[in-house]
Amino acid sequence: MDTNLEFKALLFVLLMVAMLMWGGCTPSRAEDFVLSPPLPLPEKTAPPVVLPSNPDPVPEAPAAEPVVTPEVEAESDPLLLSEGWQLVADEQLGFQFLLPPGWTYDEIVVNDPNLPPSGAMERLLHLRPEPWDGDFVPLSLAIYASEAAYRRDHLPGDLMEEVEVNGATMIRETYHYGERHALAYTFQNDTEVYVLLNNYFTGWPERVEGREPLAALIDPLVASIAFIE
């Protein structure tokens, strides 16, 4: 019995050895190999751009310089006075201006007891050459004693600019009427007195035509407006 088992075990071992030897000696054939598809090449990508966590702020463009009208000294300009300009002052409201030679002003009543009260302006002056043949008022000067009165009576213009006059800031506004325009100049002091000069002259070419010397007087007149203590 034991001999029979030993014989079967030996036979099994020999059979296994024969099978291994047979498999190792079999020549390889091309059809016995399965080729795997080639691996894709990695794509070339640009290195990532790393932004700084706190980039420096872009500096803002410098603000435009204010438009400066011709300088005329506050108080009274000796050169203009020597040329016949007249000093007009209101000590109660605390302002003054220079009037060109040959010019005058008309005082318009704003608080006539026989008329409905305006409730806004303290004074209203119409400035014009003498004589004057135009059908329009070249300049009007309105004075207000408070910001509330000024705001109630004055509408903002289409364009607003800050203009330096005598070391102080004046507001110049433009009102467009087609190809023509009016200008308003506002001066304001610390006591809330507002001086508003309206220019209905230089923005109309047909009004300036033939009156160029008069139009050239407007800028010095505007620049002569000043507050007094």
Mean pLDDT of all residues belonging to the chain = 74
Position 217 scores a pLDDT of: 93
Q: Residue 28 above 80 pLDDT?
A: no
Q: Report which DSSP code applies to 172.
A: E
**Which range, 11-25, 48-62, 145-159, is most confident?**
145-159
Q: Poorest-confidence range of 4-13, 91-100, 133-142, 189-198?
A: 4-13
**How far is residue 145's CA from residue 229's CA, in Å, rounded to a whole number?**
15
Position 151 scores a pLDDT of: 87
- Three-state secondary-structure class, residue 157: coil
Specify whether the CB–CB gap between 101 and 82 falls below 8 A. no
**CATH (domain of 183):** 3.40.1000
**How far is residue 139's CA from residue 198's CA, in Å, rounded to a whole number?**
6
Q: Residue 33 above 60 pLDDT?
A: no
Residues in contact with 137: Cβ distance below 8 Å, sequence separation at least 6, in sequence order: 126, 127, 128, 200
The pTM assigned to this predicted structure is: 0.63
Average pLDDT over residues 103-118: 73
Position 101 scores a pLDDT of: 93
Using only the alpha carbons of the chain, give its radius of gyration. Answer: 48
Average pLDDT over residues 132-161: 91
Average pLDDT over residues 176-199: 92
Q: How confident is the model at residue 43 (pLDDT cuts 50, 70, 90)?
A: very low
Note the pLDDT tens digit of each residue in 74-106: 345 666 666 789 999 998 889 999 999 999 999
Q: Is 197 within the bounds of a domain?
A: yes
Position 229 scores a pLDDT of: 75
Query: Pairing mode, if any, of strands 226-227 and 194-199?
Result: unpaired
Percent of the chain scored above 90 by pLDDT?
A: 39
Q: Residue 111 above 80 pLDDT?
A: no
- Cα end-to-end span (Å), the chain: 143
Note the pLDDT tens digit of each residue in 117-133: 555 788 999 999 999 98
Closest CA to 95 of 195, 170, 6, 206: 195
**Which range, 19-23, 115-119, 190-194, is most confident?**
190-194
**How far is residue 151's CA from residue 94's CA, in Å, rounded to a whole number?**
20
Average pLDDT over residues 7-28: 56
Q: Report which DSSP code applies to 146.
A: S
Q: Is 18 within the bounds of a domain?
A: no
Q: Is 7 within the bounds of a domain?
A: no
The number of C-alpha atoms within 13 Å of 178 and in the hemisphere containing its C-beta is 2
| Domain encompassing residue 222 | 73-227
**How far is residue 116's CA from residue 151's CA, in Å, rounded to a whole number?**
20
Q: Is 220 within the bounds of a domain?
A: yes
φ/ψ region of 165 (left if φ > 0, alpha if ψ in -120 to 50, else beta) reads beta
Question: Looking at the 3D structure of the chain, how many domains does it have?
Answer: 1
Q: Is 168 within the bounds of a domain?
A: yes
Q: Is 105 within the bounds of a domain?
A: yes
Specify whether the CB–CB gap between 185 and 170 falls below 8 A. yes
Q: Is 67 within the bounds of a domain?
A: no
Q: Is 147 within the bounds of a domain?
A: yes
